[in-house]
A and B are shown apart, each in its own frame.
Chain A
Amino acid sequence: MDYFVLIIAAIFVNNIVLAQYLGNCPFIGTSKESGVAMGMGFAVVFVAVMAAAITWCVQKYLLTPNDLGYLQTIAFILVIAALVQFVEMFLKKVIPPLYKSLGIFLPLITTNCAVLGIAIICQREEYSLMETVIFSLASGAGFMLALVVLATIRERLEISRVPVSLRGTPLALIMAGLMSLAFFAFKGMAS
């Protein structure tokens, strides 16, 4: 039951982009087409789970025992960057079609604050390893959900008459804001 609440909270209530406002640049940048949004979403889920799990271990076995909590951010960035590099090499060699379809999104994730954010939240909430994996998976899914919803809205907007000054990013930001307001309705359902 706890896991269920955790999942609902991560996807809807504390959605990583719409409630925590993390990962806004890939959110706007890759939400022009729903196909691309799906690809990016999967890439984020995948990397977020891996990163959260590994950083959990780093924190638990390296930083905390040595009382080095303040190194958290820099250490996590190091770990995530190396991880993404590794995943990139691995996919390129082993699953080239997936590598190709992820294209430029993989390297983009290196600098994605949503992934770092998820890893840090897990520490702040003092989740167990299992909870960390579930939470990061759900958060990734929340990111994907937001991304796909925005992409479909933007696809629809593409074929509508929009004042020139609002076309593209400005309107996407307004839409993201409105979506964020809508997600506020979930506030208080779980924490």
Chain B
Amino acid sequence: MIVTSVLILFGIGLVAAVILAVASKVLYVYEDPRIAEVESVLAGANCGGCGFPGCAAAAQGVVAGKAGANVCVIGGTEVAQNVAAIMGLEFSVMEKEIAFVDCTGGIRAEAIYRYEGVNDCRAQHMLYKGSKMCPEGCLGFGTCVDACQFGAIEMGPYGYPVVNPDLCTACGGCVQVCPRGVITIWGRTARIQHLNMVTDCLAPCRQRCPGQINIPRYIEQVSRGDYAGALETIRERIPMPLSIGRVCPHPCEEACRRQHVDESIGINMIKRFAADWEMNSGKRLPIPCAPENGRKVAVVGGGPAGISCAYFLRRLGYSPTIFESMPALGGQLRYGIPEYRLPKAILDWEIEGILALGMDVRTETQFGRDFTLEDLTDQGFEAVFLGIGAWKNASLRIENEDAEGVLTGTELLTRVGIGVDTGIGTKVVVIGGGNTAIDASRTSVRLGTDVTLMYRRTRTEMPANEEEIIGAEEEGVKYQFLAAPKRILVDDAGRVTHLEYIRMELGEPDQSGRRRPEPVEGSEALLECDTILTAIGQKPELDCLYDENGACQLDETRWRTLDAHPDTLQTALPHVFTGGDMYTGPSLVITALGQGRKAARSINQFLTSGMISVPEPLQRDLIPYTMFKDVENVNPKKKPPMPQLCSMEDRTCTFNEVEGTLSEEEVKQEACRCMRCGLTCYNRNPEPDRLDFSEPGVKKD
């Protein structure tokens, strides 16, 4: 009996074993041995926190490239290190990622539906779609709170989720359940590379900023006294807060919602305060960068666009080299913006900090003369950023334009910038109405001349900033509106003596929407002068792109700028990218800085995956429904005045900086005026737990 039992069982086992053995031969499927190895080093908890059904599936995901070495959310650095070793990857310190809640709305975003039945974000979303007035904002039912296995997220006092960074494992459980996409898993690299999307919580100011800086966030950080945090927020988007805090014409302030209550927030003043705070402290805040990956990228042009691209490439782990034709970096910031607006010492301090991150700089090397795109490829540069700016001046196309005494505004500014003889006389006429014309006028005043600025339209149509126009007038610049140059008269030596001009009147609106100036026949007049400065527009100098046979592999637009994809900034040559004035034509410094970051993002994606992703809901224009004007229940508050550093006598004879920085108290007062807007919501009244600076130092209850 026992023998039979044993034999039968043994028999069944043997048959099964034989069948399985044969089957394993016949039905053999190759499986990567690394899967088993990876599985053996994972934490083995089968918690599913990583999003895979168990550790075995996670191991398969790693080997299939669907997950990184950091797949295990509870394993920490050690496990990630082991996984990386098996996968043959080099492991460097893991970048801390946490869940980030973009919406800070909550109770401020009014409900327009009555909530019934189930209290769950997903159900509300399915039933009512936009169940709060804001179509993107948090619904506030805390489904994410229930979903978090690690207790890292909870409903904050204002009805929106707050993440505890110490407990968050970046597992993404909350992200999966949030139907509004309010939560993202973010590390520094992802933050640097994020482009504004219409589904983000974008305050009007933030939508308008060409640098895409998270304005409400840094203002809030300043209001809490967290200046370092504010600078970090700014530096995730632009590398030069000190310079931009001085020279930016702050388009964001034109969109500020607060202007419908009293006055726009002094956004740029707040930025300038934070940047100055760092400089005055004498210590540089550390700027975290990814470890170097040894890949080389060439950045041609050391102006704002180039500096920004190189800075972000470095932060993403690349080794950029900047090629600059001038003796020092800075581009228009150094050679086009006068000392009284941006002192060179400050610019130098800022650039020094950026270069300290580790990048090569080759000055006085000119693209097209000293090297070509092919040379860069031969030298091992895997991608190239072209940002040589727009230095070529438009001409007046009138008689005697090349006479002695006729200069371009940028030439004058460059000469002053590098400290060579300017060659100007005592009676100067500046032609143009933009910021360069004003800079040239105010600089000429400081050189002790008598200045007249001639513009062919009226004062209201001048493209220059209002404050600048007023500043120039205060310093003694005379304006000659509705006048256009006709001819330059010269003496026997060929030197300018007079400018003949003709009066203009405004006719029908042209393509730009401004009324077209038309000459008044017979109204010619003479203006005595010995120097004429032209500032009527600049273009990029694209000749450097052509070889000796006149061939060019890149495309030009009809505005004589370099053509590229508007979202990726990739040119006709896949490894060549562009940005700044070379791509846009003369534009703002902040635009160039923003494009430098965009290009760095594209270069990174191009070099790592060969593809550049453009997210579908990219924010390109202002979002119309967020631009409402009726801002109710907000009490008006006074805005602190812009401090002036120089008295008028000093202003017109020295190049000392004109504008100053707000005091700490003023800046906090200004920061507390900010309503921390979302898409449709804003802070009705100042939050009670903030200091009320109407009575300095007194806490309001």
A interface residues (Cβ-Cβ under 8 A, vs B): 58, 62-63, 66-68, 71, 74-75, 78-79, 81-82, 85-86, 89-90, 92-94, 96, 103-104, 159-161, 167
Q: How far, in Å, is A51 (CB) from chain B's closest CB?
A: 13
Q: Please measure, in the bound complex, the distance between the C-alpha atom of A75 and the C-alpha atom of B14, giving whole angstroms.
A: 12
Cβ contacts B1-37/A at 8 Å (1 or 0 each): 1001100110111001101100110111100000000
**A67–B53 CA distance with the chains assembled, in angstroms:** 45
Interface of chain A, main secondary structure: helix
Q: Which of B11, B29, B53 contacts A93 (CB 8 A)?
A: B29
Query: Out of B8, B16, B24, B143, which one reaches A63, CB within 8 Å?
Result: B8
Q: How far is the CB of B567 from the nearest CB of chain A, in Å?
A: 36
Q: Contact partner of B4 among A58, A66, A94, A104, CB < 8 A?
A: A66
Asked whether A82 lies within 8 Å of B16 as measured between CB atoms, the reply is yes
Shortest Cβ gap from A157 to chain B (Å): 10
Residues in B whose Cβ lies below 8 Å from that of A90: 23, 27
B518 in the interface (beta carbon within 8 A): no
The CA of A81 and the CA of B12, in the complex, are separated in Å by: 12
Q: A93-B29, A104-B53 are in contact. Are A68 and B8 (CB under 8 A)?
A: yes
Is B118 in contact with A104, judged by CB distance below 8 angstroms?
no
Min Cβ gap B118→A in Å is 5
**DSSP majority for the B interface?**
helix
* CB within 8 Å of A: which B141-191 residues: 143, 146
User: Nearest B residue to A74 by beta-carbon distance?
Assistant: B9
A167 to B145, CA, bound (A): 13
B11 neighbours in A (Cβ, 8 Å): 62
B residues sitting closer than 8 Å to A (CB atoms) are 1, 4-5, 8-9, 11-13, 16-17, 19-20, 23-24, 26-29, 53-54, 56-57, 118-120, 122-123, 143, 146
Say whether B29 contacts A92, CB under 8 Å: yes
Residue of B nearest to A159 (CB): B120
Point out the residues of chain A lying under 8 angstroms from B54, CB to CB: 104
Instruction: Indicate if the CB atoms of A79 and B16 lie closer than 8 Å.
Output: yes
Across-interface contacts of A92 in B (CB, < 8 A): 27, 29
The answer for the CA separation of A68 and B119 in the assembled complex, in Å, is 60
Residues of B within 8 A of A104 (CB): 53-54, 56-57
Q: Separation in Å of the B49 CB from the closest CB of chain A?
A: 15
CB contacts (< 8 Å) of B20 on chain A: these are 82, 85-86, 89
Q: How far is the CB of B370 from chain A (nearest CB, A)?
A: 57
Task: Determine whether the beta carbon of B12 is less than 8 Å from that of A62.
Answer: yes
A122 CB → nearest B CB, Å: 18
The answer to whether B120 touches A78 (Cβ under 8 A) is: no
Verify A103–B29 contact, CB threshold 8 A. no
Neighbouring A residues of B29 by C-beta, 8 Å: 92-93, 96
CB distance from B64 to the nearest CB of A (A): 11
Give bound CA distance, A81 to B20, whole Å: 11
The reply to whether B9 and A89 form a contact with Cβ atoms under 8 Å apart is: no
CB-defined A-B contacts under 8 Å, sample of 28 = A58-B12, A62-B12, A68-B4, A71-B5, A71-B8, A74-B9, A75-B9, A78-B9, A78-B12, A78-B16, A79-B12, A79-B16, A86-B20, A89-B20, A89-B24, A89-B27, A90-B23, A93-B27, A93-B28, A96-B29, A103-B57, A104-B53, A104-B57, A159-B118, A159-B120, A159-B122, A160-B119, A167-B146
Residue from B8, B17, B28 whose CB has the most chain A CB atoms within 10 Å: B8
3 nearest A-B residue pairs (beta carbon): A82-B16, A159-B120, A93-B27
Distance between Cα atoms of A143 and B383 in the complex (Å): 60
Minimum Cβ distance to chain A for residue B14 (Å): 11
Bound CA–CA A74/B123 (angstroms): 49
Which residues does chain B contribute within 8 Å of A96, judged by CB atoms?
29
Which residues on the B side are within 8 Å of A62 (C-beta)? 8, 11-12
**CA of A93 to CA of B16, assembled, Å:** 19
CA distance A159 to B143 in the complex (A): 8
- Looking across the interface, which residue of chain B has its beta carbon closest to that of A160? B118
Give Cα A58–Cα B122 distance, bound, in whole angstroms.
52
Docked CA distance A79–B20 (Å): 11
Chain A: which residue is nearest B46 at the CB level?
A104
Kindly report which residue of chain B lies nearest to residue A156, judged by CB atoms.
B118
CA distance A174 to B27 in the complex (A): 43
**How far apart are the CA atoms of A79 and B8 in the complex, in Å?**
12
| Distance, CA A104 to CA B53, complexed state (A) | 8
- A85 to B24: give the CA distance in the assembly, Å: 10
Which chain B residues lie closer than 8 Å to A81 at the CB level? 16
Q: Are A75 and B12 in contact (CB under 8 A)?
A: yes
A85–B119 Cα gap in the complex (Å)? Answer: 45
Q: How far is the CA of A85 from the CA of B27 in the complex (A)?
A: 12
Residues of B contacting A58 in the complex (Cβ-Cβ under 8 angstroms): 12
Residues of B within 8 A of A82 (CB): 16-17, 19-20
Residue of A at shortest CB range from B7? A66
Cβ contacts under 8 Å, B27 to chain A = 89-90, 92-94
- Known A103-B57, A159-B120, A159-B123; judge A66-B8 contact (CB<8 A): yes
Determine the chain A residues whose CB is within 8 A of the CB of B26 once the complex forms.
93
Point out the residues of chain A lying under 8 angstroms from B5, CB to CB.
68, 71
Report B47 CB to chain A, min CB distance, Å: 13
Contacts of B53 in A (CB 8 A): 103-104
From A94, which residue of chain B is reached at the shortest CB distance? B27
Q: How far apart sit A58 and B1, CA to CA, in the bound complex (Å)?
A: 18
Cα–Cα distance between A104 and B17 once the two chains are bound (Å): 23
The 8 Å CB contact of B23, one of A71, A89, A103, is A89
CA distance A128 to B6 in the complex (A): 27
Minimum CB–CB distance from B458 to chain A (whole Å) comes to 62
In the complex, residue of chain B having the shortest beta-carbon distance to the beta carbon of A81: B16
Give Cα A68 to B1, complex, Å.
8
* Nearest-neighbor residue (CB-CB) of A75 within chain B: B12
A177, B21: Cα distance in complex, Å: 43
What's the Cα separation between A78 and B109 when bound, in Å?
63
How distant is A174 from chain B, measured CB to nearest CB, in Å?
18
